[in-house]
């Protein structure tokens, strides 16, 4: 009887060890994957930052003014005037 | 076995037979083991169990440890992230939250790292190899390579350039990811934003960037109160004015008259913060000087608004009181004090004194209000103190060493006291916004309400708005008027004190507000040493600062959502007119 219990215990011990070993390596693998994903995220964030910066350069007032002057005849662009602004009363009644 | 012993050794009476028992016992034990193998197995199993328990414990402890602290194994070289996740400085946006003013991007820096001994690294050979890629003379590169063990070669390189440098054949070339601060709008608002150097050192920074370092601001983004389009108009028109009038420099401020938000602030000449040489700041000292907040100037006649407001607030005079402007003031001088343009009539009322910008009249008003009242009133405006702003470059006013009657008279018309332009603009706001004191800020203010501390009463403020409207309508501020906005303001042409004594050159200014019926924004435009040119009769503020301000208001007011109003000035006119008549 003791012999079988010993074999059983041995089996349990081995199983637990194998399980732990597998889990540990699974964790390591996942961490590596996580790190590579993080790197990918950073790289995408970098790209986003660069695109945002490029966009900011493109839409900078200096650049837009230069483009507006260049295409003013074709686009018939005019600076905004105070006449174009209308103040809407806050307590206006809702229409139908 | 027992029988054999008995046969070999005959035992007689009296013999000691104890050894036989011992032998028998040992024999009986051996025979038991031979007979019962279970006992042997048990013993072995016990030993095996002990081993297993020991190994299992070791494995379990190790596995548990690994499960709890996985980093011990995982953080091997090559797995770590090269740079920290968060940017070293927050992104800066304008008030709309859409226009990016400053950001940080990751770039690549190539450097030579001398790990081997000096003998092994052939500097000359490396310089020749690197020369075509760096587009520099090998001698120059050799000199650079001979200094230290870590030598920066080139910053912000593309992947292609990185590949080319790798192919140069210099094994010591390494690439590092580094952060870099970028200002997409280049020179625009450079005096507010400042700059940061590549290594993000606090002492090599300026402007708002420095404020971020010193206050350790960790947020991801900051919205400033600046309106980038208004800022652009301000800088463009200021630049055009400097060019047109051959001025040495110029500055301008537009700030919210009610909550102190700085919508635009410019000082020319300026600089591109992307290109500034952090390590030799002396080269760019002139360009880096922010005249609008660092400098202090004798502002000239624009200061007269304080003299009049003070006298009205203290009820020492009424707007209808008349003053003799042909009177000779202060005979202790080398002559009589004169006005910029002598009045055709001898007597002017207080309103006309401001419209005609009479120095003689202002001295008389100051004499009525008195020295102590002037000191107290100007102190309350805040122009005598160092102004707080979220920038460390703020300048200090220069006050008279001995504030006596002569100083009082000079100050009444804007001489003898140098003030910081931003402080002056915020004090001017208190004169026209209903009398409320404001604190200038470059942060987007959440509190849109006025400060409750008052400098003058609402009635006096209304009167001042009326008089300042007349200055623009009929006086020296005529060229600043913009149809539909009823601009109010005051011009000033001040002689600049020389370092050698006396006065040399001029500072022309216009301080105004728009829309005139309920001022929302204050504008201050100043030009340093403008010249009269062909087609322009004079070099006073009437000819340069006022029209520049008018042009900026015309372009900026629609961007600030101010609708034109052509109904006349009935909002405040009746009150003030009644006072005069």
Which of B399 and B61 is assigned the larger pLDDT?
Answer: B399
B500 reaches A (C-beta below 8 A):
no
Closest CA to B273 of B203, B195, B205: B195
How big is the A-B interface in CB pairs under 8 Å? 115
With 50 as the cut, is the pLDDT of residue B117 above it? yes
Give the CA distances from residue A33 to residues B74, B321, B444, B536, in Å, rounded to whole numbers and listed in that order.
Answer: 11, 85, 42, 73
Closest CA to B460 of B322, B303, B353, B350: B350
A89 reaches B (C-beta below 8 A):
no
d(CA B250, CA B465): 26
List the single residue in B74, B184, B563 with the smallest CB-CB distance to A85: B563
List the single residue in B64, B232, B564 with the smallest CB-CB distance to A82: B564
CB–CB contact B185 A87 (8 Å): no
Check if the beta carbon of residue B442 is closer than 8 Å to that of residue B270.
Answer: no
CB–CB contact A16 B60 (8 Å): yes
Which of B140 and B224 is assigned the larger pLDDT?
Answer: B224
Look up residue B418 and give its DSSP letter.
B
For residue range B182-239, what is the model confidence (pLDDT) as tens digits?
999 999 999 999 988 777 776 778 899 999 988 988 888 999 999 999 999 999 999 9
CA torsion angle B386 B387 B392 B396 (round to 10): -30
For residue range A57-71, what is the model confidence (pLDDT) as tens digits?
999 999 998 999 899
Task: Nearest chain A residue to B230 by CA: give it.
Answer: A61
- What's the confidence (pLDDT) of residue B20? 55
SS (H, E, C) B73-128: HHCCCCCCCCCCCCCCCCEEECCCCCCEEEEEEEEEEEEEECCCCCCCCCHHHHHH
As given in the structure block, the two tokens for residue B242 are 């400097």
Question: B66: distance to nearest CA of chain A, Å?
Answer: 6
Give the CA distances from residue B36 to residues B46, B495, B538, in Å, rounded to whole numbers and listed in that order.
Answer: 16, 124, 130
Task: Nearest chain A residue to B69 by CA: give it.
Answer: A24
Q: Please tell me the total number of residues recorded for chain A in this structure.
A: 96
Q: What burial class does residue A95 get, using C-beta atoms within 10 Å of its C-beta: 0-12 exposed, 13-18 middle, 19+ buried?
A: exposed
For residue range A6-44, what is the model confidence (pLDDT) as tens digits?
899 889 988 988 998 899 899 999 999 999 999 899 889
pTM over 0.95: no
Q: Are strands B173-182 and B150-154 parallel, antiparallel or unpaired?
A: unpaired
In chain B, the percentage of residues whose pLDDT exceeds 70 is: 82
Look up residue B409 and give its DSSP letter.
H
With 90 as the cut, is the pLDDT of residue B247 above it? yes
A87 reaches B (C-beta below 8 A):
yes
A90 reaches B (C-beta below 8 A):
no
Q: Please tell me the total number of residues recorded for chain B in this structure.
A: 581
With 60 as the cut, is the pLDDT of residue B360 above it? yes
CB–CB contact B56 A42 (8 Å): no
For residue range B48-62, what is the model confidence (pLDDT) as tens digits?
888 878 887 887 787
Query: At B79, is the pLDDT very low, low, confident or very high (cuts 50, 70, 90)?
Result: very low
d(CA B470, CA B509): 17
d(CA B126, CA B173): 10
Check if the beta carbon of residue B469 is closer than 8 Å to that of residue B569.
Answer: yes
């Amino acid at each position: 009887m003791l012999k079988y219990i010993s074999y059983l215990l041995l089996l349990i011990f081995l199983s637990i060890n194998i399980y732990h070993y597998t889990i540990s390596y699974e964790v390591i693998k996942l961490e590596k994957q996580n790190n590579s994903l993080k790197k990918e995220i950073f790289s995408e964030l970098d790209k986003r930052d660069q695109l945002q910066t490029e966009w900011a350069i493109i839409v900078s007032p200096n650049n837009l003014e230069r483009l507006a002057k260049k295409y003013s005849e074709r686009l018939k662009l005019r600076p905004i005037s105070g006449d174009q602004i209308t103040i809407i009363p806050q307590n206006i009644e809702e229409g139908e | 076995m027992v029988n054999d012993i008995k046969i070999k050794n005959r035992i007689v009476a009296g013999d000691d037979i104890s050894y036989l028992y011992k032998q028998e016992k040992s024999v009986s034990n051996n025979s038991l083991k031979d007979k019962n193998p279970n006992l042997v197995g048990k013993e072995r199993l016990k030993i095996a169990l002990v081993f297993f328990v020991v190994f299992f414990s070791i494995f379990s402890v190790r596995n548990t440890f690994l499960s709890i602290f996985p980093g011990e194994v995982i953080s091997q070289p090559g797995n770590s992230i090269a740079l920290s996740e968060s940017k070293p400085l927050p992104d800066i946006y304008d008030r709309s939250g859409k226009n990016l003013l400053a950001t940080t991007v990751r770039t690549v820096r190539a450097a030579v790292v001398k790990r081997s001994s000096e003998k092994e690294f052939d500097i000359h050979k490396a310089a020749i190899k690197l020369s075509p890629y760096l587009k520099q003379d090998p001698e120059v590169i050799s000199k650079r390579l001979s200094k230290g063990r870590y030598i920066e070669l080139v910053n912000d390189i593309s992947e292609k350039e990185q590949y080319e440098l790798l192919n140069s054949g210099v094994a010591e070339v390494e690439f590092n990811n580094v952060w870099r601060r970028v200002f997409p709008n280049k020179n625009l608002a450079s005096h507010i934003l400042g700059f940061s150097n590549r290594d993000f050192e606090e002492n090599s920074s300026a402007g708002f960037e420095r404020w971020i370092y010193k206050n350790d601001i960790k947020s991801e983004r900051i919205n400033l109160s600046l309106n980038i389009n208004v800022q652009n108009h301000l800088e463009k028109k200021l630049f055009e004015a400097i060019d047109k009038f051959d001025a040495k420099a110029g500055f301008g401020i537009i700030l919210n008259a009610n909550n102190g938000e700085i919508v635009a602030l410019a000082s020319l000449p300026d600089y591109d913060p992307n290109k500034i040489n952090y390590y030799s700041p002396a080269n760019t000292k002139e360009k880096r000087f922010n005249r609008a907040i660092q400098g202090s100037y004798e502002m000239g006649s624009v200061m007269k608004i304080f003299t009049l407001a003070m006298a009205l607030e203290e009820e020492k005079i009424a707007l209808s009181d008349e003053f003799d402007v042909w009177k000779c003031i202060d005979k202790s001088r080398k002559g009589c004090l004169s006005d910029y343009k002598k009045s055709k009539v001898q007597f002017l009322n207080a309103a006309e004194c401001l419209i005609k910008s009479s120095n003689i009249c202002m001295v008389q008003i100051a004499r009525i209000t008195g020295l102590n009242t002037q000191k107290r009133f100007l102190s309350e405006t805040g122009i005598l103190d160092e102004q707080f702003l979220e920038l460390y470059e703020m300048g200090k006013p220069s006050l008279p060493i001995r504030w006596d009657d002569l100083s009082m008279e000079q100050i009444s018309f804007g001489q003898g006291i140098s003030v910081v332009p931003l402080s002056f603009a915020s004090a001017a706001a208190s004169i026209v916004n209903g009398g409320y004191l404001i604190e200038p800020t470059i942060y987007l203010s959440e509190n849109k309400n006025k400060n409750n501390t008052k400098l003058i009463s609402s009635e006096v403020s209304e009167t001042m708005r009326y008089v300042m409207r007349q200055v623009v309508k009929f006086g020296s501020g005529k060229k600043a008027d913009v149809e539909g906005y009823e601009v109010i303001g005051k011009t000033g042409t001040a002689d600049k004190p020389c370092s050698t004594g006396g006065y040399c050159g001029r500072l022309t200014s216009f301080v105004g507000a728009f829309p005139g019926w309920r001022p929302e924004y204050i504008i201050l435009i100043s030009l340093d040493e403008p010249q009269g040119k062909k087609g322009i009769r004079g070099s006073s503020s009437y000819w340069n600062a006022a029209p520049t301000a008018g042009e900026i208001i015309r372009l900026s007011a629609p961007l600030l959502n101010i609708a034109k109003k052509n109904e006349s000035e009935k909002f405040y006119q009746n009150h003030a007119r009644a006072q005069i008549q």
